[in-house]
């Protein structure tokens, strides 16, 4: 992810799982918004990363977001480390 993210911007969320994801199923990006609201996005696999293209309507919420990638491999659930990203409020929102 980017160093600076504005609330309400399109965003490619990409979390490197640091392992071969060839056999991964049900990839997801889990998140917690700054207000504590949890959610998840059905994602895709790209090499060793789980990725999701979040639209502007999905990235509303100024403050610190938390993200975690999750997938099933060989019948076992794998999770990434939690990634934190601050979202800033742009002047036009």
Residue for token digits 């742009």?
A: 90
Please state whether the predicted TM-score (pTM) of the whole model is above 0.85: yes
Alpha-carbon distance of 30 to 70, in angstroms, equals: 7
Asked if the structure places residue 83 within a domain, the reply is yes
Q: Which helix (H) or strand (E) holds 15?
A: strand 11-16
Per residue in 11-57, pLDDT (tens digit) is 999 999 999 999 999 999 999 999 999 999 999 999 999 999 999 99
Residues of the domain holding 54: 5-88
Q: Could you tell me the CATH number of the domain that includes residue 28?
A: 2.60.40.4070
Asked if the structure places residue 16 within a domain, the reply is yes
Asked if the structure places residue 34 within a domain, the reply is yes
Alpha-carbon distance of 21 to 19, in angstroms, equals: 6
- Are 15 and 69 spatial neighbours (Cβ–Cβ below 8 Å)? yes
Domain count, the chain: 1
Per residue in 51-93, pLDDT (tens digit) is 999 999 999 999 999 999 999 999 999 999 999 999 999 888 5
Sign of CA dihedral 2, 78, 25, 40: negative
Asked if the structure places residue 93 within a domain, the reply is no
Asked if the structure places residue 19 within a domain, the reply is yes
């Amino acid at each position: 992810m980017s160093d600076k993210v504005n609330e309400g911007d399109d965003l490619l969320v990409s979390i490197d799982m640091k392992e071969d994801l060839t056999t991964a199923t049900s990839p997801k990006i889990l998140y917690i918004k700054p207000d504590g609201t949890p959610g998840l996005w059905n994602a895709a696999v790209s090499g060793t990363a789980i990725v999701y293209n979040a639209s502007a309507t999905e990235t509303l919420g100024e403050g610190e977001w938390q993200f975690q990638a999750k997938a099933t491999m060989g019948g076992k659930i794998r999770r990434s480390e939690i990634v934190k990203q601050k979202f800033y409020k742009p002047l036009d929102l």
